[in-house]
Amino acid sequence: MEETEEDFKRYYKKLVENIKWLCLSFKEQKEYVPDFTDRPFEVLDGYVKAFVLLPQLIDNRYLSLEAISALIRLHIFVDFTLSHPDFETMPEDKIDDFENWIRLREMAKETLKVMNEPEEAPDPFYT
């Protein structure tokens, strides 16, 4: 099945909305996922899943080179955070103070700027 222009717009929206989600404090982020989940993981995994759409967006010229670089850097740091030894055992009330979480939020905000996208609350349908 061939992808359409509407597919690419949806992929781009999913990517942007998950970056917006990363910009929020964890207190705000956790409101987007059920209590029974591993909420810190779910927040990061949302970006990982959206990042998989990057090749189609690049092929169809939806992103500048600067945006591609920022997205890749963000993905690398998300992966680094997921593999951090303290991440799995950190209590949720300490996530906002976690150095990597603070850096991720900063990187996400910078990525939105590079993409010329507003920093605002994400659309929960896409997160």
CA atoms within 13 A on the CB side of 115: 27
* 121 located within any domain: no
* 122 located within any domain: no
Nearest to residue 4, comparing CAs of 43, 46, 60, 64?
60
* 53 located within any domain: yes
* 51 located within any domain: yes
* 21 located within any domain: yes
Task: Give me the number of domains the chain comprises.
Answer: 1
Task: Examine the pLDDT at 6 and tell me if it is beyond 90.
Answer: yes
Instruction: Give the model confidence (pLDDT) of 14-63 as tens digits.
Output: 999 999 999 999 999 999 999 899 999 999 999 999 999 999 999 999 99
* 78 located within any domain: yes
Q: What letter would DSSP give residue 63?
A: S
Instruction: Give the model confidence (pLDDT) of 61-103 as tens digits.
Output: 999 999 999 999 999 999 999 999 999 899 999 999 999 999 9
* 105 located within any domain: yes
* Residue 93 belongs to domain spanning: 5-114
* 42 located within any domain: yes
Task: Examine the pLDDT at 1 and tell me if it is beyond 80.
Answer: no
Tell me the pTM: 0.94
